[in-house]
Amino acid sequence: MTDLKGKTVLVVGLGKSGVAAARLLTRLGATVLATDRRPASEMQAELKVLPRAVEVEAGGEKFFDRPLDLIVVSPGVPWKHPRLVAARRSGIPVWPELELGWRNVSPKKTIAITGTNGKTTTTALVGHLLKAAGRNVVVGGNIGTPLSALTSKVGRGTHLVLEVSSYQLEGHETFHPNVGVLLNLTPDHLARHRTMAGYARAKGRLFEKFTGADTAVLNRNDRWCRAIGRRVSGKKAWFPTPELEKIAAHIKLPGRHNRENAMAAAAAVEAVGVSRAKIERALRTFKGVPHRIETVLTRGGVRYVNDSKSTNVDSTTVALKSFDEPLLLILGGEHKGSPYVPLRPLVKRNVKRIFTIGEAAPLVKKDLGGVVPVQTCGTLRNAVKAAAKTAEPGDVVLLSPACASFDQFRNYEHRGEEFARIVREVA
C-alpha cells in the first residue's frame, strides 16, 4: 500500500475512475481535492457517491494552484494537458488512476488486455475461462470497474484481469502484469496521440516492466504488434496458430474477430496453467458482452441491434461484416480523427440508409453521402424514430457509431442503454 496519509492529492476528472480514485485516497488518509470541467449540475450522480471530506471544484482549475503532493488523473483527461505538464515540470508526481490502483493492490497475479478492438470481449472471456477453471478471479479496469475500486477484493491467489486503454497506459510508472495481451492496433484516438506511432508507443507501455518470467500474447498478423513484440522482454505467445484455431472453433459467437479474441484469451490463460480441455469447454458457454452486436429486440420483423461499443471505424467495419440483412445504420458521435471513407464498400453492400447523430454528422455525410442516402438526425432518439419509421420486415436497425460517445453521453454504455430504452419505447 502507498503511504498517502496526510498528503494533499488532486483528482482530475470525476468520471467513474476519478470517483474511485477519490474514494480510495480518502480511505488511505489523504486530503482529497477533486476538479472537473463540468458544472456541478452535470455531476449530481458523481457528487452523491463522493466522500464528504472530498473538496470539489466544478468548472475551474484553481485547485492546480494549491500546494499538492500528488495528482491522479482520470483516463479521459489528456496526459499533455498544460496544467499536468506544468505540474510534472514543477516536480509534482502525476499518476493515471491505474497507477494509484496498482500501487494499492497486493499480491498480484495479473492478466492485462489492450488493443484497438476486442479488448472488452477478450477481457470478459479471460475472466470467464479462469472462473470456469475454478480460479478466484476479479475482472475490471476499462471494462467497467476501475482498479481503484477493486483493491479490497484482490487477495492472495486472486487472478486480476484488467482491460487497459492507451489513456491508462501512457503515464504509468510501475504497472507490471504477468501476462499482457495486445490484440491489434489500427488508427484510433489520433486526436489525442497525434500519430499512429504515438498511439503504438502508449499501447506498448503495457510490456515496459516485463522480465523473462512474463508472457506477452501478440497478434502475428498485425504489423504494429510485430514491431512492439520485437522489443518485448519475456516469453511470447503469438496468435493465430493452427492449435489456437482449433481451440477457438469452440466459441459460439459469430465472426472471425471473435475467433481471434478467443485465441488471444486461450493463449493468456494457458500461460497461467489452464488446460486446453478446460478452455474448450468454457468457450462453448461464453455469451459475449453487452453493447457489442447485442440484439435488443425484434418487432414487426425488424431487429434492433446495439453495437455502441464500436467507437471507431475499424470496429464498425467488423460489425457491418457480421450482417447479410439490409441495414439501417446509425452513425456518429464525437469524431476521433479518422475518416469514414473505409466504410464505403460495406455500406454499399447492404446498408439502405444512414442516420447520423452528434458532432461527427457533417463528416459522415461528406464521406458516405455519395454511397447511400444520409439523414441528419442530431439526437439518438430522432435517429431511432426515423429508422423505425423507414424499416421494413427483414431489416436490421444497427447502432454502430464509429465514434466516441462523449459529445452526448457519459460513455458508450450510457449510449447503448439509451438506445435500448428508446427502441423499447419507439419500435
C-alpha cell at 410: 457519459
For the question of residue 209 being annotated catalytic, the response is no
Instruction: Output the 3-class SS for 81-144.
Output: CHHHHHHHHCCCCEEEHHHHHHHCCCCCEEEEEECCCCHHHHHHHHHHHHHHCCCCEEEEECCC
Q: End-to-end alpha-carbon separation of the chain, Å?
A: 52
- SS3 label, residue 384: helix
- Residue 198, classified by CB atoms within 10 Å of its CB into exposed (0-12), middle (13-18) or buried (19+), is middle
Cα–Cα distances (Å) from 252 to 10, 173, 315, in that order, read 46, 39, 19
Q: Are 195 and 126 a contacting pair, CB within 8 Å?
A: no
Active site residue 119: yes
State yes or no: is 258 an active-site residue.
Answer: no
Dist. CA 142–CA 154, nearest whole Å: 17
Q: Which helix (H) or strand (E) holds 44?
A: helix 44-49
**Choice among 109, 119, 128, 365 that is catalytic:** 119
Active-site option among 109, 172, 189, 335: 189
The whole-angstrom separation of Cα 275 and Cα 272 is 9
List the catalytic residue out of 104, 117, 128, 142.
142
**Catalytic residue numbers, as ranges:** 119, 142, 189
